[in-house]
Amino acid sequence: MLQRVVITGIGCISSFGIGQRALADALLAGLSGIRPITAFDTSTCRSHCAATLDGFDPTAFISPLKLRRVDAVGRLALVCARLLLDDSALAIGAGGSDDLGVALGTLTAGMDSTIEYLQGLNRFGPAGAPALLFSNTVSNASASLCAIEHRLRGPNVTFNQREASSLAAIAYASGLIRDGRVAAMISGGADRLEETFFKAQDRFGPFARDEISRPFDRHRRGFVPGEVGALLLFEAADVAAARGARVYGELLGIGMTASRSELNGWPIDASGTARAMQMALDDAELPASAVDAVFAAANGSKRLDTLEAAAIRTVFGSRDVPVVSLKGAIGESGAAGAAALVVALLTMVDGMVPPTVGFSTPDPECLVSVSREARPVAGPTFLVNAVASGGTSYSLLARAATP
């Protein structure tokens, strides 16, 4: 018999500050975290903005001595894990835990260390390559450091499936719990902006030239990248009940598919995304009519938004299920799906969903129920979608806990 999976802790850092409440409240208010990039020079770029972190000082949470050899994503993940464990009131004894693991989704972990290491190697040869950086060139370093810091000896794995990375990690983590292999998993995503990667993407031209992400909008021109850390604690329901844990919600179903796509492009058609949503519903043994909102993967890219709208119409038919995309406010990243799950849990418990920031003019090719205003929903059950350039689609069906 499969175990039920509940969410009992959240650790979040976003362009709106520290904590999940700061993120959810800002999004409900229709605010945008997109701002000019100040971390590096963008004067030679066509794009100059991103949803960058605000007020993040990792030394306020973790000793500077420990952070000295940790890359940017690792610092974000470490602090989010600390916030999550505090939020969950989960006590980990001095001996650590064999039954709690980490599954992290990321697009950029290890990238800044890899680039710095290779720059030293290319300029000065083997003797000039900074050896202390080498361990952080491995993308799993961030997840491993979280486990070391908090003495977690359960499964430890990192998923890099581009924009779908965090939902891929959550699907894996939840599967372990459902199968009874572990009692709990920390999972979600963390991504930081990296200069070389940003400038390479800028040359290929996927970014919005007007620096505004307009999901589902007729005048959309591309996406804006973002930084965010969003980790959640997933527990077997009986384990959470035994310790009297507060429950944010329950994961009900998981769907995952792959579709044909152009190199580094969005899927060719909507069939894979539609199948992922239907698989999540089938996994939960629920009809589409049970879904009260869809948190979409749409990010302002011409093809992605059109195909996801078509996929939603395939699954829901003529029903105008409320649809919201958060990427006009938090940007696109491998962690955006986990951030959407966090926001959905926090807002739908009060019967609301945020507006789609950047949306203004409906597109006849994207005929779904999108709003520029926060609005009420009929119930607490929702889908979260993630679609990766390269063709991978994930969909999670969850239900926010009701008071």
Distance CA 402, CA 247 (A): 10
The DSSP code sequence of 14-63 is: ETTEESHHHHHHHHHTT----EE--SS--TTSS--EEB---S--GGGTS-
Residue 138 pLDDT exceeds 90: no
Distance CA 18, CA 32 (A): 15
What does the pLDDT average to over 106-118?
83
pLDDT of residue 355: 98
pLDDT of residue 121: 78
Domain ranges of the chain: 5-242, 252-400
DSSP at 217: B
pLDDT of residue 125: 81
Q: Which residues pair with 364 in a beta bridge?
A: none
Dihedral, CA atoms, 308, 312, 315, 316, nearest 10 degrees?
Answer: -170
Of 32, 28, 12, residue with least CA distance to 377: 28
CATH of domain 252-400: 3.40.47.10
Average the pLDDT over each of 67-76, 84-93, 190-199 and give the range with the smallest value: 67-76
Query: Token pair for residue 119?
Result: 């720059």
pLDDT of residue 130: 74
pLDDT band at 68 (very low <50, low <70, confident <90, very high): confident
How do beta strands 35-36 and 100-105 pair?
unpaired
Residue 83's contacts (CB-CB under 8 Å, 6 or more residues apart) are: 10, 11, 12, 13, 18, 19, 61, 231
Average the pLDDT over each of 57-71, 222-236, 258-272, 354-368 and give the range with the smallest value: 57-71
Distance CA 237, CA 4 (A): 5
pLDDT of residue 116: 76
Distance CA 389, CA 164 (A): 9
Read off the pLDDT of residues 339-374 as tens digits, 9 standing for 90 and up. 999 999 999 999 999 999 999 999 999 999 999 999
pLDDT of residue 78: 96
> Are 5-242 and 252-400 equal in CATH topology?
yes
- The residue with greater pLDDT, 113 or 336, is 336
Residue 55 pLDDT exceeds 90: no
Of 212, 167, 165, 227, residue with least CA distance to 13: 227
Residue 312 pLDDT exceeds 80: yes
pLDDT of residue 135: 75
pLDDT of residue 21: 97
CATH domain 5-242 topology = Peroxisomal Thiolase; Chain A, domain 1 (3.40.47)
Element (H, E) at 256: strand 249-258
Percent of the chain's residues with pLDDT above 90: 85
Model confidence, pTM: 0.96
Read off the pLDDT of residues 187-226 as tens digits, 9 standing for 90 and up. 999 999 999 999 999 998 899 988 899 999 999 999 999 9
3-state secondary structure of 5: strand
The DSSP code sequence of 263-284 is: TT--BSSSHHHHHHHHHHHHHH
pLDDT band at 139 (very low <50, low <70, confident <90, very high): confident
pLDDT band at 33 (very low <50, low <70, confident <90, very high): very high
